[in-house]
């Protein structure tokens, strides 16, 4: 019985051990994000209005591998069944190599599902991190 309980506790510890802080993430908000206002539970808004300013924070726990990153905003086309996308914005941003956080903002004027993707200049094919959000008409 002790062996069974030990194994059960070990399984729970492994699978329910909390969130992984070593995983990259993008946090979205309708309000500016800074160290005083950042709360991961409150900065999880993924629904925005057309023309509303979208604030975001990119968290990359390993530190950015180079001194620049590329931000790419893409939108899913509604009239295409599979993999129809449009590139809406692309920005090359200088960052401090090794830094773990980048904050920024942008506005979008198309009612659709969008993705924010962050790339390193070392590999334009695989994003460092990506996440989705909706922009809807009011």
Q: At 55, which CATH number?
A: 2.60.40.1930
Classify residue 29: in a domain, yes or no.
Answer: yes
Q: Per the domain annotation, does 102 fall within a domain?
A: yes
User: Would residue 4 count as lying in a domain?
Assistant: no
- Does residue 96 lie in a domain region? yes
Domain that holds residue 57: 19-136
pTM: 0.78
pLDDT value at residue 9: 41
Tell whether 9 is covered by a domain.
Answer: no
If pLDDT is split at 50, 70 and 90, which confidence band does 81 have?
low
pLDDT tens digits, one per residue of 43-77:
567 999 999 999 999 999 999 999 999 999 999 87
On whether residue 79 sits in a domain, the answer given is yes
Residue 68: closest CA among 32, 36, 90, 93: 93
Give domain status of residue 14, yes or no: no
The domain tally of the chain equals 1
Q: Report whether 60 contacts 97 (CB < 8 A).
A: no
């Amino acid at each position: 019985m002790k062996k069974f309980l030990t194994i059960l506790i070990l399984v729970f510890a492994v699978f329910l051990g909390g969130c992984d802080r070593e995983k990259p993430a993008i946090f979205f908000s309708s309000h500016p994000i800074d160290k005083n206002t950042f709360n991961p539970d409150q900065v999880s808004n993924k629904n925005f209005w057309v023309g509303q300013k979208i604030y975001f924070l990119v968290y990359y726990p390993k530190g950015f591998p180079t001194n620049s990153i590329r931000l790419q905003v893409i939108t899913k086309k509604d009239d295409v069944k599979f993999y129809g996308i449009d590139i809406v914005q692309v920005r090359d941003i200088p960052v401090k190599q090794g830094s773990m956080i980048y904050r920024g903002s942008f506005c979008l004027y198309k009612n659709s599902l969008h993705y924010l993707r962050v790339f390193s200049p070392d590999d334009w094919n695989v994003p460092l991190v990506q996440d989705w959000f909706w922009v809807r008409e009011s």
